[in-house]
Amino acid sequence: MQSEILTVVVERYDPERDKAPRLVTYRVPRQEGMVVADVLLYLYEHEVPDLGFLWECRTRRCGTCAMRVNGHPVLTCSEPVREDMRISPLEGLPVVRDLIVDRQELQERLAPWAGETLDGSGKDARILLEPGEIAHYRALSECIDCFICDSVCPALAENAKGGPQFAGPRRLIRLEAQVQRRAEPLPWLMYAAQSNPSLCTRCFACTEECPRELRPAEAIGSLTKRLYDRHELDPHKTAHITSFVRSILRGAWLDEFRLLVDIYGIVGVAKFIPQALRMLRHRKLPKPHFGKTAQASDIQTILQDLDNRS
């Protein structure tokens, strides 16, 4: 039986007062059909007038209400309430106040191409889609900018540590949509190349968490393949892809030693010796593998078949 009163823990943070987020417990009367945004509105109207949170459309269209409930990113305007909820801001983005995160820096990564026509004429050559392609294109173009995919992306989190910057799944799914509908996609592919899609780790967290089921990881795979096929990616950034493919074609086995040599060169591999010794000490160093796996010919036949179809 459902309780009449919901116990809700809200992660609160006031940058002028708090050194770290603090957890505050509230009790909220449950109502029929209540969603998480209703809980926040109740708190704002009855108990916590300074509670910071955002929402606009309440119809899953604007993306502003994205937060985490018990660690899981959701659109709070459509997420049903449950017992013992902990409501937190999206992870991976700076917190402005309570449940509001700063989307500005990631939003600016859509520049310079957002809203632009590339030839400056106000017109841009587009292609007519076949009826069978429309559903696929709509799926790509229905991103609501909720930032959930960016918030769970480990490759984007790595950016903070320096090195080549990955633009994130939200930007890349839009670029793939632009490329698909343009008669001349090259300028858009150049923007895509600058976004470093090959830094995606293929963890699929963005696809798993997207509330619109848009499959950004697959869109990035498609974009990366287009760039790879057109040799538009920096060869250094694609060395691992080339090596991986060669390795699978050779023996249906990922040869991690050769992967390192292909990416860094024989001299460059020397810098990994201390790390390799540490791994050896902890028995984490992969064993060298020579020859082919038992299923090599089956795997190679499948790859060949896929190649013929693409």
Site membership for ligand SF4, residue 75 (CB under 6 A): no
109 and 171 Cβ atoms separated by less than 8 Å: yes
Among 51, 87, 95, 173, binds ligand SF4 (CB under 6 A): 173
Q: Min. distance of Cβ 135 from ligand SF4 in angstroms? A: 16
With binding defined as CB under 6 A, does residue 303 bind ligand FES?
Answer: no
Give the residue, chosen from 10, 77, 227, 233, that forms a contact with ligand FES under the rule CB under 6 A: 77
- 148 makes contact, choosing from ligand SF4, ligand FES, none, with CB < 5 to 8 Å by partner type, with ligand SF4
Closest CA to 155 of 169, 139, 170, 174: 169
Only segment of 80-88, 96-104, 122-130, 146-154 that touches ligand SF4 (CB under 6 A): 146-154
| Torsions phi, psi for 74 (to 5 deg) | -145, 165
Whether the bond into 15 is cis, omega within 30 of 0: no
Asked if 143 touches ligand FES (CB under 6 A), the answer is no
Which of ligand SF4, ligand FES, none is residue 55 near (CB under 5 to 8 Å by kind)? Answer: ligand FES
- Our measurement of the distance from residue 12's CA atom to the centroid of its chain's CA atoms, rounded to an integer in Å, reads 26
Alpha helices in 99-215 (DSSP H): 104-108, 131-141, 148-151, 154-159, 169-181, 186-194, 205-209
Site string for ligand FES, 51-70 (x = CB under 6 A): ----xxxx-xxxxxx-----
- Regarding 154 and contact with ligand SF4 (CB under 6 A), the answer is yes
Residue type at 199 in one-letter notation: L
**36 interface partner picked from ligand FES, ligand SF4, none, CB below 5 to 8 A per type:** none
**205 makes contact with ligand SF4 (CB under 6 A):** yes
Closest CA to 249 of 197, 299, 287: 299
Q: Does the footprint of ligand SF4 cover residue 203 (CB under 6 A)?
A: yes
Residue 41 binds ligand FES (CB under 6 A): no
Give CB contacts under 8 A, 24+ apart, made by 177-180. 177/137, 177/140, 177/141, 177/143, 177/219, 178/113, 179/223, 179/226, 180/133, 180/136, 180/137, 180/140
Binding site for ligand FES (CB under 6 A): 55-58, 60-65, 75, 77
Q: Which residues bind ligand SF4 (CB under 6 A)?
A: 63, 143-149, 152-155, 169-170, 173, 200-206, 210, 212, 214, 216-217, 220
